[in-house]
């Protein structure tokens, strides 16, 4: 942690000295549009659901230790990710790249030619191979003696990094490796991995309004080889290389607090006519609350000693109708090895719960649905990877029979989900069906898994403004009409 703090301090001092950075803001708030990849896919609903459920399971499983190697059998499109655009390179000839917005990681990377992506055939990619550019002309490789290099390589000491970079022994012994480039870094996600080189260069963001900001010595990674990752990632995690952390040089508020409001879609493209607002720096308390909206409820962030970039919170219970089910204890705490807690993740689609907790929730949910006369739709469960599913007519009277569902986080932070966030009706094989949109994340008591116990996915976050308040060490949730919030903030 000390190296992280030193790195952040160095970044702030260095970037404040840059003479050509700009921040054309009337306030400390900056608005960015998030696009949903669903709007650019032609996949069937069954394929999207199956893909999203498998991808969520694999991403959580890799974190939780149940997958020992990169998966080789994932569907080739997901349709459940959010992207933002940024520009890199000289201001006279910038290159625009679209990146996945991911609160579950802390690195900014994008493909650079020559580029090879293994197992990427058919995957949706806003950055096609024909538009992938070489490393930005104004960028340069990061030194292996740099604090940025140590941060990217999990805080490895510079002597080890110098050795990996094949520095001469006398250079290692005299700490004079500054002329040698940081060795390539390996970065693994739940659903893919990459090899990349760390670089410094200019990065710019443009708002929906005629505002922009740029940092001339931004640290990012250029990837030339990836596995199942054709698109770059903008990491918003808690590490020093994340996008918010590096923007602290422009304004401390840009790194101390950000929020997003994901427009509800239910996998329908006609509901994605507005972007989802990503808001940097704004204090959510200044916003007015509409009649269908709610005030923020906050739960404290938990520290994870092994994965300090995770936004981990404590889930204490889940209510299904009037029944309150206590969550498995490791969902509410993190041990010294970094195991436990629930990660709030914009890059995973469906919420993943430990097997024991999921079983209790799904059993209680099924008891309600069965007593209301709904029969199971087993074929739909096999086609989508979701369970339980039911033969379900999505009319008003049927909707009233679906039990309510709420998450209870530490500090009395209760988040009552709208029905569309946990039970979705759709047509399957000519019949109307509906499925519970939570998933079994495994991790039974007889397993030796490690890592986070649960993941709060982006599907369950729809229709909420989710604020990451780093200054106060908490995450907040408030019901919002996200399209109206976008319109209000875009008008300024």
Residue of 102, 191, 330, 449 with catalytic role:
102
3-class SS letters over 425-491: EEEECCEEEEEECEEECCCCCCCCCCCCCEEECHHHHCCEEEEEECCCCEEEEEECCHHHHHHHHHH
From 81, 330, 345, 449, the catalytic residue: 345
- Give the Å distances, CA to CA, from 127 to 233, 326, 348: 12, 44, 21
Q: Is 102 among the residues known to form the active site?
A: yes
CA-closest candidate to residue 377, choices 337, 435, 457, 316: 435
For strands 82-88 and 193-206, give the pairing. Answer: antiparallel
- Whether residue 160 lies in the annotated active site: no
Going by C-alpha positions, the residue among 206, 194, 196, 193 that lies closest to residue 135 is 196
SS3 string of the chain?
Answer: CHHHHHHHHHHHHHHHCCCCCEECCCCCCEEEEEEEHHHHCCCCHHHHHHHHHHHHHHHHHHHHCCCCCCCCCCCCCCCCCEEEEEEECCCCCCEEEEEEEECCCCCEEEEEEEEEEECCCCCCCCCCHHHCCCCCCCCEECECCCHHHHHHCCCCCHHHHHHHCCCCHHHHHCCCCCCCECCCEEEECCCCEEEEEEEEEEEEEECCCCCEEEEEEEEEEEEEEEECCCCEEEECCCCCCCHHHHHHHCCHHHHHEEEEECCCCCCCHHHCCCCEEEEECCCHHHCCCCCCCCCCEEEECECCCCCCCCCEECEEEEEECCEEEECCHHHCCECCCCCECEEECCCCCCEEECHHHHHHHHHHHHHHHHHCCCCECHHHHHHHCCCCEEECCCCHHHHHCCCCEEEEECCCEEEECCHHHCEEEEEECCEEEEEECEEECCCCCCCCCCCCCEEECHHHHCCEEEEEECCCCEEEEEECCHHHHHHHHHHC
Active site residues per annotation: 102, 345
């Amino acid at each position: 942690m000390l190296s992280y703090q030193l790195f952040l301090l160095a970044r702030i001092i260095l970037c404040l000295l840059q003479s050509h950075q700009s921040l054309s803001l009337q306030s400390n708030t900056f608005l960015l549009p998030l696009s949903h990849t669903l709007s650019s896919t032609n996949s069937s609903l069954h394929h999207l659901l199956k893909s999203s459920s498998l991808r969520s399971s694999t991403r959580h499983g890799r974190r939780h230790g149940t997958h020992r190697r990169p998966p080789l059998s994932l569907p080739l499109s997901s349709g459940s990710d959010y992207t933002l655009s940024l520009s890199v390179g000289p201001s006279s000839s910038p290159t625009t790249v679209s990146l996945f917005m991911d609160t579950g990681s802390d690195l900014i990377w994008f493909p650079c030619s020559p580029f090879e992506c293994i197992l990427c055939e058919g995957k949706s990619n806003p950055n096609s191979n024909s538009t992938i550019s070489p490393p930005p002309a104004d960028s340069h490789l990061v030194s292996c003696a740099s604090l940025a290099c140590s941060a990217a390589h999990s805080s490895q000491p510079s002597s080890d990094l110098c050795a990996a970079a094949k520095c001469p022994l006398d250079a290692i012994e005299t700490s004079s490796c500054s002329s040698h480039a940081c060795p390539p870094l390996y970065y693994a996600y739940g659903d893919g991995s990459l090899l990349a080189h760390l670089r410094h260069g200019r990065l710019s963001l443009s708002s929906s309004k005629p505002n922009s900001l740029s940092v001339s010595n931004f640290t990012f990674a250029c990837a030339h080889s990836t596995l199942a990752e054709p698109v770059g990632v903008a990491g918003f995690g808690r590490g020093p290389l994340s996008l918010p952390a590096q923007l602290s040089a422009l304004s401390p508020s840009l790194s101390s607090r950000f929020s997003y409001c994901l427009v509800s879609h239910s996998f329908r493209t006609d509901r994605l006519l507005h972007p989802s607002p990503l808001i940097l720096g704004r204090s959510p308390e200044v916003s007015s609350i509409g009649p269908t909206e709610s005030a923020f409820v906050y739960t404290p962030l938990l520290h994870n000693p092994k994965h300090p970039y995770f936004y981990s919170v404590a889930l204490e219970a889940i209510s299904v109708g009037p029944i309150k089910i206590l969550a498995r204890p490791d969902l509410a705490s993190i041990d010294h090895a970094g195991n436990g807690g629930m990660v709030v993740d914009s890059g995973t689609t469906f919420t993943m719960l430990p097997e024991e907790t999921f079983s209790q929730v799904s059993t209680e949910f099924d008891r309600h649905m069965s007593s209301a006369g709904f029969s199971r739709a087993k074929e739909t469960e096999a086609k989508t990877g979701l369970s339980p599913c039911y033969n379900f007519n999505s009319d008003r009277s049927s909707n009233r029979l679906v039990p309510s569902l709420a998450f209870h986080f530490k500090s009395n932070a209760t988040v009552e989900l709208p029905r569309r966030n946990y039970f979705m009706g759709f047509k399957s094989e000519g019949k109307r069906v509906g499925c519970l949109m939570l998933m079994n994340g495994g991790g039974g008591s007889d397993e030796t898994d490690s890592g986070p116990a649960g993941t709060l996915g982006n599907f369950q976050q729809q229709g909420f403004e989710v604020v990451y308040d780093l200054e106060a060490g908490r995450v907040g949730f408030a019901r919002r009409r996200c399209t109206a919030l976008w319109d209000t903030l875009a008008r300024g």
